[in-house]
């Protein structure tokens, strides 16, 4: 059963359609990733689902019902950017938010779940980026939510802090909480999400499990060679092997299910293979394939 | 809801108390201002006697027309006003030549001295049987008592109220606009807390803070300056609480919608400056044209300061300041209604 569903959801700002007639559901207990480049409409969509922004048309259903007064007690939200009340400590902030909910998690449990023991008595204003995100996640899990919204929670964090944050998300997931995550980090989506939807220009381009999407869009391996290794661009036309070939960011990318044949064919065309690389396509490749074909600002 | 209220109240109050700069500024600013006034205006202003002359001046003893005496005319029906000034040591004598009466203030050394000069003059006149001067025996003496009202006594209610105005407007208006701009309000919107609970907690926290500050500032400056306080402290407290609630409600109007601190700040300044000038914080509007005095009535600060001065200087009771209390209560209701109608989390 879908814990949250959106039906024909649209948001229009003047002449700009930020979200265009979206309909999809999030099954209970999974981590659902909403992926897309900056400006794709992710935050607008998630904020309508959170009940923060009212849609221009369409509706959001939580447990089959339109969002009602009890919704706020059953969901946890981590916004992309939030300021916290000043001059109070992490512990005091958690106590403050705990007072807002009818059945909050005990303080000790929140501290344990979000690894906050080292920063408990620190002023909110003196937290590092990673500590701050841990703290904001703690605020989201205080109500023992059935559904947690995480809007680009690791943007701007260093690799170590991101990995630490992923561990925390996995802990929350292990409790059976449904998670809706937006991100533009593909490694994050691949690691955390059971299902993903890739959106751009306000519409969802694809939606499935990461494995299924990769299988569907990529035949086998991706071969990449720098563009300057190809002395004569017309040589590329001569390649017999490769039907799916693209030039992107100074690299020639060849998608192939016959790696041996492709390499033979490149050798025949006398292309320098010194800096050739072969890799298994990942979500980033899929993301670029689906959203990166257009010029964007 | 009570739990939510208490939690927000506590967080907001801690934010204020821990923000040392703002905290000390709120306490020090009015104290420095009051002390400054006491120093600047604390000296005796002139070395002449001020005589209130009630009604026509015909038949006034000659000595009262000498250069050492400054005559302040009062119409015949303003006797009470002249006597009030005499009680407050703003006049040294009051005379009503037409009635052959004079009044002095036995608690004022200057008044005693002025009376002696007047009495000598009247005696002299009687002995020389000058027909143009009435006989001493025909002049009736009246006496009043009262401690002097210095400028600082008059200015204190204004200065403290002005500080309350700043603290309420900026402490609520500006802070909530900042909360809206930086996303604190958005985060709270995502919780089950209602806008009403949140705003009431903010307002009550500010009320307690401002009231606490006022008490400390009043007590602190009173310790050194010994203000005139002729009324009841309970009445003064009641008026002050109503005034603070009214000013906080005004702050909530500014807090209701704006997202830009600069805009909110600018508009609040636009309002506070005319309010300070026309509410009589630093100088009395008694001599101002009637339209200006009427316009000043629209400011809550005018009513607050007027009621406080009535209580502190003239010993007025609640009944006498009821029109001011009514105006403050009405304004509070209007401001709260506008704020509730305009309020948006984002």
Residues A188 and A260 occupy one common structural domain: no
Distance from the B319 Cα atom to the nearest Cα atom in chain A, whole angstroms: 43
Q: Say yes or no to pLDDT of A296 above 50.
A: no
Q: What is the mean pLDDT of residues A119-142?
A: 91
CATH number of the domain encompassing residue A236:
3.30.70.100
Q: Note the pLDDT tens digit of each residue in B284-298.
A: 777 678 888 888 899
Determine the 3-state secondary structure of A10 from DSSP: strand
Nearest by CB to residue B15, choosing from A87, A99, A102, is A87
* Residue numbers of A between 62 and 121 with CB closer than 8 Å to B: 69, 72-73, 77, 79, 81-88, 92-93, 95-102
Indicate if A77 and A34 belong to the same structural domain. Answer: yes
User: Which of A180, A209, A238 marks a domain boundary?
Assistant: A209
Confidence check: pLDDT of B54 > 80: yes
A295 domain-assigned? no
Average pLDDT score over residue span B95-122: 84
Q: Report the distance separating Cα B269 and Cα B265, nearest Å.
A: 6
The pLDDT of B114-134, averaged and rounded, is 68
* Domain layout of chain B by residue ranges: 2-40+150-342, 49-144
If one counts every other C-beta atom within 10 angstroms of the C-beta of residue A269, the result is 18
Q: What is the least distance, in Å, from the CA of A35 to any CA of chain B?
A: 23
- Count of beta carbons in the 10 Å neighbourhood of residue A226: 14
Q: Which of B6, B11, B177, B188 to mutate to test the interface with A (most CBs of A within 10 A)?
A: B11
Q: Is B128 on the interface with A (CB under 8 A)?
A: no
Query: Rounded to the nearest 5°, which phi and psi values hold at B72?
Result: -115, 110
Structural domain including A227 reads: 219-280
Which of A154, A179, A209 finishes a domain? A209
Paired tokens of B136 = 């001493």
> In this complex, which of B7, B18, B189 lies closest to A52 when CB atoms are compared?
B189
Question: What is the architecture of the domain spanning B49-144?
Answer: 3-Layer(aba) Sandwich (3.40)
Nearest to B183 among A82, A96, A98 (CB): A82
Q: What is the mean pLDDT of chain A?
A: 87
A180 touching chain B per CB within 8 A:
no
| B328, B246 Cβ separation under 8 angstroms | yes
Torsion of CA B258, B260, B265, B266, to 10 degrees: -100
Q: Is the ipTM of this complex over 0.90?
A: no
pLDDT in tens, A172-230: 999 999 999 998 888 888 899 999 998 988 899 889 998 888 888 887 888 888 888 77
Dump pLDDT digits (tens) for A18-76. Answer: 999 999 999 999 999 998 888 888 889 999 999 999 999 999 999 999 998 889 999 99
**Residue (of A203, A126, A134, A131) closest to A168 by Cα position:** A134
Beta-strand ranges (E) seen in chain B are 49-54, 69-74, 93-96, 101-105, 140-144
Average pLDDT over residues B246-254: 94
pLDDT tens, position by position, B5-49: 999 999 888 888 888 887 788 778 777 877 777 777 665 545 468
- Mean pLDDT for chain B overall: 85
Chain A residue numbers with beta carbons less than 8 Å from the beta carbon of B184 are 82-85
Residue A214 lies in a domain: no
How many domains does chain A contain in total?
Answer: 2
For the whole model, what pTM was predicted? 0.77
């Amino acid at each position: 059963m879908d814990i949250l569903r959106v039906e024909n959801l649209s948001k229009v700002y003047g002449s700009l359609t930020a979200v265009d007639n979206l309909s999809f559901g999030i099954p209970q207990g999974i981590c659902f990733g909403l992926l897309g480049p900056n400006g794709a409409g992710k935050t607008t969509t998630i904020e309508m689902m959170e009940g923060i922004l009212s849609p221009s048309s369409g509706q959001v259903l939580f447990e089959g019902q339109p969002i009602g007064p009890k919704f706020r007690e059953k969901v946890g939200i981590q916004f992309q950017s939030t300021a916290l009340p000043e001059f109070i400590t992490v512990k005091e902030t958690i106590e403050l938010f705990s007072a807002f909910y009818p059945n909050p998690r005990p303080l000790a449990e929140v501290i344990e779940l979000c690894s906050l023991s080292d920063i408990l008595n620190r002023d909110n204003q003196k937290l590092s980026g990673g500590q701050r995100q841990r703290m904001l996640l703690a605020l989201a899990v205080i109500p023992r939510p059935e559904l947690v919204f995480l809007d680009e929670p690791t943007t701007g964090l260093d690799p170590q802090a991101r990995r630490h944050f992923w561990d925390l998300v996995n802990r929350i997931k292990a409790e059976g909480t449904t998670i809706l995550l937006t991100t533009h980090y593909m490694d994050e989506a691949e690691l955390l999400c059971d299902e993903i939807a890739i959106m751009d220009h306000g519409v969802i381009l694809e939606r499935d499990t990461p494995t299924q999407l990769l299988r569907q869009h990529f035949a086998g391996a991706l071969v990449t060679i720098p563009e300057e290794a190809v002395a004569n661009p017309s040589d590329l036309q001569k390649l017999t092997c490769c039907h799916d070939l693209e030039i992107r960011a100074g690299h020639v990318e060849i998608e192939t299910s016959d790696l041996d044949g492709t390499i033979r064919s490149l050798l025949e065309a006398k292309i320098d293979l010194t800096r050739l690389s072969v890799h298994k396509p990942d979500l980033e490749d899929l993301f670029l394939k689906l959203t990166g074909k257009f010029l964007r600002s | 809801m009570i739990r939510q209220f208490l939690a927000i109240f506590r967080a907001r109050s801690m934010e204020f108390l821990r923000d040392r700069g703002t905290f000390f500024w709120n306490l020090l600013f009015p104290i420095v201002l009051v002390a400054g006034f006491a120093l600047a205006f604390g000296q005796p202003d002139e070395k002449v006697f001020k005589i209130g002359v009630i009604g026509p001046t015909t038949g006034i003893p000659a000595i009262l027309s000498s250069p050492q005496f400054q005559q302040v005319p009062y119409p015949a029906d303003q006797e009470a006003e002249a006597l009030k000034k005499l009680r407050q040591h703003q006049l040294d004598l009051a005379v009503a030549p037409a009635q052959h009466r004079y009044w002095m203030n036995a608690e004022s050394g200057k008044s005693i001295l002025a009376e002696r000069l007047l009495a000598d003059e009247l005696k002299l006149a009687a002995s020389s049987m000058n027909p143009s001067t009435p006989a001493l025996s025909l002049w009736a003496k009246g006496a009043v008592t009262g401690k002097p009202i210095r400028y600082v006594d008059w200015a204190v209610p204004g200065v403290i109220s002005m500080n309350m105005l700043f603290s309420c407007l900026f402490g609520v208006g500006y802070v909530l606009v900042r909360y809206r701009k930086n996303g604190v309000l958005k985060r709270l919107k995502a919780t089950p807390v209602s806008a009403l609970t949140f705003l009431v907690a903010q307002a009550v926290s500010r009320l307690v803070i401002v009231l606490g500050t006022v008490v400390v500032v009043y007590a602190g400056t009173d310790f050194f300056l010994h203000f005139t306080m002729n009324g009841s402290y309970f009445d003064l407290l009641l008026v002050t609480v109503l005034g603070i609630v009214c000013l906080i409600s005004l702050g909530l109007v500014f807090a209701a919608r704006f997202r830009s601190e600069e805009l909110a700040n600018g508009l609040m300044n636009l309002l506070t400056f005319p309010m300070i000038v026309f509410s009589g914080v630093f100088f009395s509007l008694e001599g101002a044209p009637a339209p200006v005095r009427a316009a000043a009535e629209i400011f809550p600060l005018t009513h607050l300061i007027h009621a406080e001065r009535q209580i502190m200087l003239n010993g007025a009771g609640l009944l006498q300041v009821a029109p001011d209390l009514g105006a403050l209560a009405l304004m509070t209701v209007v401001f709260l209604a506008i704020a509730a109608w305009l309020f948006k989390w984002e």
